[in-house]
Amino acid sequence: MLAGLVAGGDVVVLSGAGLSTESGIPDYRGETGRRRRADPMTYQAFTGSEAARRRYWARSHLGWRHIDGARPNAGHRAVAELQRRGLLAGIITQNVDGLQQAAGAAGVVELHGALHRVVCLSCGRRTPRERLEERLHAANPGWEAAAAAINPDGDAVLPDAAVEAFAIVGCERCGGPLKPDVIFFGENVPPARVRECYALTERAGALLVLGSSLTVLSGYRFVRHAARHGVPVAIVNRGATRGDEHALVTLDAPLGATLGALLAELDG
């Protein structure tokens, strides 16, 4: 039934962290996330405290190499191939790792932003993450720390002493505080981005959810929107999801193997 839905074309993909776990990036709510019990930084804490920003950047500076070194897996490549075949009307990702684009997909709507960009909270200037990493290296000569674990979004668990010894830097243009260009917990997705996703969803021939538990409203609302507009929903995820009641097809299965099999069935 999944192949039949996809073969009809005009499919909109909504991907979540489960699509990237096979690339070694943990998620918050799947099996890897439950083992880590991560306590993510909130927007309110980050903007309200220099100490919180220091904690975030020290941990993220160390964890960034894990994100930056990750490579697209079979699931990412399968989505890009579906797009290449003209079967997709759009791709919405909740992920901030850039792996879907690295696999060759184009026009991806980054619902929650991307870690490879940095934004100044004072002047709004956006700069590449690579430039910030160079500046952080220069500001912290000899700083080394061993991560106890890597949490989602490249957040490395560090001892307090390592965090306190870390020096952060400000915007090169205005000196303002820098933030990764991602949506933190407690922060709203820009309304124009949400409207774009709603429009894609209601025009879709089908909505294909890949690797998302749909626990938070940010992604779940598009499943509800599809159901309200009579758009069939298919969900492939490890474990049950909040959107299962709205789905015509649900598969509890590994993403890479399942999408590879889907391509093979479409070829047959």
Give the catalytic positions in this structure. 112
140 annotated to a ligand binding site: no
Q: Return contacts of 250-255, CB within 8 angstroms, 24+ apart.
A: 251/2, 254/22, 255/18, 255/19, 255/22, 255/73, 255/74, 255/75, 255/210, 255/211
Degrees to nearest 5, angle at CA 65 with 157 and 219: 75
Would the annotation count 211 as a binding residue? yes
151 in a labelled binding site: no
Check if the beta carbon of residue 163 is closer than 8 Å to that of residue 54: yes
11 assigned ligand-binding residue: no
Between strands 155-156 and 150-151, the pairing is antiparallel
Reduced 3-state DSSP string for the chain:
CHHHHHHCCCEEEEECHHHCHHHCCCCCCCHHHHHHCCCCCEHHHHHHCHHHHHHHHHHHHHHHHHHHCCCCCHHHHHHHHHHHCCCEEEEEECCCCCHHHHCCCCCCEECCEEEEEEEECCCCCEEEHHHHHHHHHHHCCCCCCCCCCEEHHHEECCCHHHHHCCCCCCCCCCCCCEEEEECCECCCCCHHHHHHHHHHHHHCCEEEEECCCCCCHHHHHHHHHHHHCCCCEEEEECCCCCCHHHCCEEEECCHHHHHHHHHHHHHC
For residue 20, say whether it is annotated as part of any ligand binding site: no
197 carries a ligand binding annotation: no
Residue 122 annotated as binding site: no
Residue 188 labeled ligand binder: no
> Would you say 23 is a known binding-site residue?
no
- Residue ranges of the annotated binding site are 94-97, 120, 123, 171, 174, 211-213, 237-239, 255
- Residue ranges of the annotated binding site for NAD(+) are 94-97, 211-213, 237-239, 255
- Residue ranges of the annotated binding site for Zn(2+) are 120, 123, 171, 174
